[in-house]
């Protein structure tokens, strides 16, 4: 009897031990997942806060304290392909222009805007060759202009023509990516190029160009925006806030150290170092959370896009914004 009870007790002990052994490995993946959380950031080779944070390593340091790693995806040549990657679920956060964000929201890309940086007038414009003979926007009639479809370039051109009473039907829009626009401009396939920094600075320095109209002359309401996928913003709001806090700190540093920031951007964009000071002055402007005034400005762009038949219907801009501290 004693032997039977001993065996039964032993079996119970073994069963309990086996249960603990089986349970232990099941708890490990959850802990590992928490330690290995990753935020995927699509970076553009442009003078924005994310590019600066990448170069300075500030995001990696801040997020490591929260057991989060940073995966940099890119570089993307412009916002449109970055937004495509976000739409495909390949990245969580990226940068772009408010004009490109309007086009993306109209195309139902599930993004939310969480930071806003009004572009300086000198950071965008329409450039022509110095010897082109084009002296005013009215001289673009009968000419071709390189723009990126639905983005900053197309917005700048169409806005400039409207403001100066030039019939847009008389100006040919040539849809090219930024990387293709430069060679096309240099080779004379287009008479002008509507673009933004660093391409404005590059065109002036390397392509014998001059600015026909800058952002102020065009009446541009454009801004640099930082966006996140809607699912990321909903599921990881505290993490998004941390990213924004780091971005604001980097932005404040850039404003206080424009030459150094310009040098960092020039190196990151692989452009001549002597363009750094100009890039620093043009790009180091305040980044803030999105305010009601900013939303109204983006809505004005969206309304104008609809009126200009660039997009068919105005998206709900307010629904595409998340307000952070």
- Angle subtended by helix axes 276-283 and 258-269, to nearest 10: 110
Helices (H), the chain: 2-35, 49-56, 58-64, 79-87, 98-106, 152-163, 178-186, 199-206, 215-218, 230-235, 237-256, 258-269, 276-283, 292-307
What is the reported pLDDT for 259?
A: 97
User: How confident is the prediction for the chain on average, in pLDDT?
Assistant: 89
Residue 79 CA, chain-centre distance (Å), reads 6
Q: From CA 55, how far away is CA 116, in angstroms rounded?
A: 21
pTM for the predicted model, two decimal places? 0.84
pLDDT tens digits, one per residue of 199-239: 999 999 999 999 999 999 999 999 999 999 999 999 999 99
Checking if the pLDDT of 32 tops 80, the result is no
What proportion of the chain, given as a percentage, has pLDDT over 70?
Answer: 89
Checking if the pLDDT of 50 tops 70, the result is yes
Checking if the pLDDT of 24 tops 70, the result is no
Domains belonging to the chain, first-starting first, are: 36-119+222-320 (3.40.190.10), 122-218 (3.40.190.10)
What proportion of the chain, given as a percentage, has pLDDT over 90?
Answer: 84
pLDDT tens digits, one per residue of 68-106: 999 999 999 889 999 999 999 999 999 999 999 999 999
- Quickly state the pLDDT bin for 21 (edges 50, 70, 90): very low
Q: What is the mean pLDDT of residues 106-121?
A: 97
CA-based R_g, the chain, Å: 25
**Ramachandran quadrant class, 46 (left: phi over 0; alpha: psi -120 to 50; beta: rest):** beta
Checking if the pLDDT of 29 tops 70, the result is no
Q: What are phi and psi of 175, to 5 degrees?
A: -80, 110
Instruction: Of 109-113, 179-183, 224-228, give the lowest mean pLDDT range.
Output: 179-183
Structure tokens at 283: 């790009």
Among 268, 155, 284, 270, which residue's Cα sits nearest to residue 220?
155
Residue 191 CA, chain-centre distance (Å), reads 28
């Amino acid at each position: 009897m004693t032997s039977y009870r001993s065996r039964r007790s032993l079996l119970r002990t073994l069963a309990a031990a086996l249960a603990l052994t089986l349970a232990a490995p099941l708890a490990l993946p959850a802990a590992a997942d928490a330690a290995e959380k990753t935020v995927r950031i699509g970076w553009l080779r442009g003078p924005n806060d994310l590019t600066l944070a990448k170069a300075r390593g500030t995001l990696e340091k801040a997020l490591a304290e929260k057991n989060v790693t940073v995966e940099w995806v890119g570089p993307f040549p412009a916002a449109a392909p970055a937004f495509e990657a976000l739409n495909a679920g390949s990245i969580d956060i990226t940068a772009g222009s408010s004009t490109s964000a309007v086009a993306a929201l109209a195309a139902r890309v599930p993004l939310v805007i969480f930071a806003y940086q009004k572009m300086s007038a000198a950071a965008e414009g329409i450039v022509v060759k110095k010897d082109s003979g084009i002296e005013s926007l009215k001289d673009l009639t009968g000419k071709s202009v390189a723009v990126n479809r639905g983005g900053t370039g197309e917005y700048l051109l169409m806005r400039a023509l409207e403001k100066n009473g030039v019939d847009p039907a008389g100006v040919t829009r040539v849809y090219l990516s930024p990387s293709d626009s430069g060679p096309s401009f240099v080779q004379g396939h287009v008479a002008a190029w509507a673009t933004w920094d660093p391409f404005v600075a590059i065109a002036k320095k390397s392509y014998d160009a001059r600015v026909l109209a800058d952002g102020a002359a065009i009446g541009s309401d454009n801004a640099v925006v930082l966006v996140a996928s809607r699912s990321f913003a909903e599921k990881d709001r505290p993490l998004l806030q941390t990213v924004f806090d780091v971005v604001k700190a980097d932005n404040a540093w850039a404003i206080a150290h424009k030459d150094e920031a310009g040098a960092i951007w020039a190196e990151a964009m692989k452009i001549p170092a002597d363009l750094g000071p100009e890039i620093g002055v043009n790009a180091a402007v305040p980044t803030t959370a999105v305010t009601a005034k900013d939303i109204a400005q983006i809505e004005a762009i969206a309304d104008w896009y609809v009126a200009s038949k660039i997009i068919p219907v105005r998206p709900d801009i307010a629904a595409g914004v998340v307000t952070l501290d």
